[in-house]
Structure 1
Amino acid sequence: MRDITDTFQPNIYCALINARNWARGKKHRISPSGEQNIYRVTDGQNELFICRRKRHNRSKNGVLAGVEALAKQYSLEHIPLSPGDWFIDCGANIGELGVWAKNRDLHYIAFEPEPLEARCVNLNAFGGENRVNRLALWSEDTLLDFFSKPGTADSSAIEINDFDAVRKVQAKRLDAILTDLPANNKVVLKIEAEGAEPEVLAGSENMLSKIAYIAIDCGFERGKESAHTFTETNNFLVDRGFRVEIAKFPRMTMVYKNVQNV
């Protein structure tokens, strides 16, 4: 159901939210960014750019607290990383994990096909530079129907229920894009593909030997049936030398370790 505040002009919406936040003792404030449909959230020390209004509340305890909470959903705090290591973010959304990676001096690579979300990745992780890869990842280089539902972060290359729109997007194999991964730094691959995790992994096969850890969402998000992808994902990775290090339920986010690499 649509919230009546969704119809408010940006300045009015922000003023109402800020008044409510002040009354409730929340740290964050929201303002129009100057770019259409993009908002700036700040806690007085840090800022984050969002493009879906209700996402501001993830920063209610502070911008970095919200970022760290997302990282913990993927158990990233348990992966041993050092400055200069690599973090590849497949399904970056607005790039909150780019902020997390930047704060740890990691080399960050992001993939996000939704236009507004991709712009936020550039603002949040790359200082506004256009460095995000605005494409879908798949098991082959092709043109895909992309079923867009960005308001709830459910957009997918696999048809879902109640999508907002469908459009054509360029899709590529990840191992055809990243052909020169470092040999002396850890590489972490995070995958959130809204049910297309098996296809993204298949398109990464030729680079898996260089991946130290994979953080992946295998939850119930695949297609109209909302099926999980754990069985296929787990079989694929175990056959290629990975083992589950951490399993988090009920969301079903897993951390896999490459036992031949680490």
Structure 2
Amino acid sequence: MAIRDKQSDFYLVASRPARVRRYKFGIKSLLSAMLKNYCVDNLVFDSPPTIIDIGANIGEFSMGARLLLHPQARLICIEPDLVDYAALIQNIGLSEYSKNSCLNIALSNQSGEFDFYLNNDSGDSSLLRNEHIKRILKIQVRTLDEIVDEILDDHEFISLIKLEAEGSEPEVLEGAADTLKRTLYVTADLGPERFGETTYSQCRELLQLHGFTEVMSRGHRYLFKNDKLTSTKKPKEALLL
């Protein structure tokens, strides 16, 4: 379902009718608010950043990053829900000439085939069993280190990782030890989605082990910066205004 912005020619493809009301104040308005909520609205990139969007859904964060942070951002989007993924690949605009990537997998601290608990209506589908399950399916699970090793060259830095894994954020970070060494910023939704508890403490501890410090937060969303990377080699973009 294609939705056009009220104030411009900008449009996106929604994965289900229930999401349409999200855009009643305009698509660009929602994308701008999303980046602000994730604490990245003041990041400035001098050169095209590489951004990994974990739990990309239909690509709203990635579209906002390309619209508001840098129009030539390279996007690596990961979304396990097949319905949302179908909209994602249309919104990101994949082509044989694009460096963007969309992957229909889940991330964790190990690879294999695991149960995925679907709740399409709320967007709370997860590798963790929850009370809102609509159905269960088997899905391919990888580690972020494996994905990055396949897609990026060894010398390439990652400007920003956005992480939203419906309670599985600690496992995603555990499977990303090498990736975090070359990542400048991580912004994460660490709300109470792990059996009613937040994942903030676990994720903060894991990120601190890799040299990250907390920069700011809005609600349950937190921005962390890699101080080890900024004190040595770094991407040519890192300014937080």
Query: Is TM (by shorter chain) over 0.5?
Result: yes
1:120 to 77, 83, 87: 87
Deviations 1:115-161 (A, max 9, x none): 11001111111258894100000101111110011210100001111
Instruction: Return 5+ residue gaps in structure 1 as ranges.
Output: 1-38
Shift of residue 65 of structure 1?
Answer: 1.1
Shift of residue 185 of structure 1?
Answer: 5.1
Q: Distance in 1 between matches of 2:66 and 2:108?
A: 26
Q: Distance in 2 between matches of 1:206 and 1:186?
A: 11
Give the SS at the match of 1:108.
strand
2:187 to 215, 220, 223: 215
Residue aligning to 1:257: 225
Give the SS at the match of 1:72.
helix
Larger Rg: 1
Alpha-carbon spacing, 1:53–1:90, altered in 2? closer, same or farther (3 Å): same
Q: Distance in 2 between matches of 1:181 and 1:79?
A: 24
Instruction: Return 5+ residue gaps in structure 2 as ranges.
Output: 231-241
Q: Is the 8 A contact 1:122 1:128 kept in 2?
A: no
Q: Distance in 2 between matches of 1:120 and 1:82?
A: 30
1:227 to 176, 179, 197: 197
Residue aligning to 2:170: 198
TM-score (structure 1 length as normaliser):
0.79
Alpha-carbon spacing, 1:187–1:245, altered in 2? closer, same or farther (3 Å): same
Shift of residue 235 of structure 1?
Answer: 0.8
Residue aligning to 1:72: 36
Shift of residue 81 of structure 1?
Answer: 2.2
Q: Provide the aligned length of Structure 1 versus Structure 2.
A: 220
TM-score (structure 2 length as normaliser):
0.86
Residue aligning to 2:233: none
CA RMSD of aligned residues (A): 1.8
Q: Distance in 2 between matches of 1:140 and 1:184?
A: 24
Residue aligning to 2:51: 87
Residue aligning to 1:109: 76
Letter of the 1:164 counterpart:
K
Q: Is the 8 A contact 2:34 2:61 kept in 1?
A: yes
Question: Structure 1 segments of 4 or more deviating over 6 A?
Answer: none
Which of structures 1 and 2 has the larger relative contact order (alpha carbons within 8 angstroms, sep 6+)?
Answer: 2
What is the percentage of aligned positions where both structures have the same residue? 27
